[in-house]
Amino acid sequence: MITALAKTPTVVGEHLSQEQLLRLTLPGDIKSTTVSELQRDVFALLNDPAVRRLPTATVELVATEAKMFDSLGLNLIVGVLKAVKQRDEKMRLRIASRTVYLTCLAVALERQMELVYEGPA
């Protein structure tokens, strides 16, 4: 069963109960000009009492629309990872841009979370 969560201006959230998965879909690039709003909305969803009561083993960030992450974007991803680990949950990051994928590999994010690359080879 999929449960749609409260809408935010920048993040679409849903909970897949059978998979115990909290999916947060982010629009576009994650960079200095967008990170403040994304951070506000991602953490609003993560900290929502109704969301915290949902059985969740994995938090999945879907950033398949992103063509780039800058340093502030990476800081947001790491901040979410820390919050997820404090909740004793796993994190998955879905990306479709080879540039974003290589950026994530350059900072060794694959050692801390599951990276799923969905772009061209």
**Angle formed by the axes of helices 71-86 and 35-47, nearest 10°:** 10
Cα 40 from chain centre: 13
Global pTM? 0.93
Question: Structural domain tally of the chain?
Answer: 1
Query: What confidence category does residue 8 fall into, taking pLDDT thresholds of 50, 70 and 90?
Result: confident
Mean pLDDT, the chain, whole residue set: 93
User: How far is residue 71's CA from residue 86's CA, in Å, rounded to a whole number?
Assistant: 23
Containing structural domain, residue 44: 2-117
Mean pLDDT of 90-114: 96
- Is residue 7 predicted with pLDDT exceeding 80? no
| pLDDT on residue 1 | 67
Mean pLDDT of 47-52: 92
| pLDDT on residue 48 | 93
Mean pLDDT of 87-96: 97
Mean pLDDT of 6-12: 84
DSSP the chain: -EEEPPP-SS-EEEEEGGGTEEEEEPPS-BSTTTHHHHHHHHHHHHH-HHHHTS--SEEEEEETT-S-B-HHHHHHHHHHHHHHHHTT-EEEEEE--HHHHHHHHHTTGGGTSEEEE-S--
- Is residue 4 predicted with pLDDT exceeding 90? no
Q: What is the CATH number of the domain that holds 106?
A: 3.30.750.24
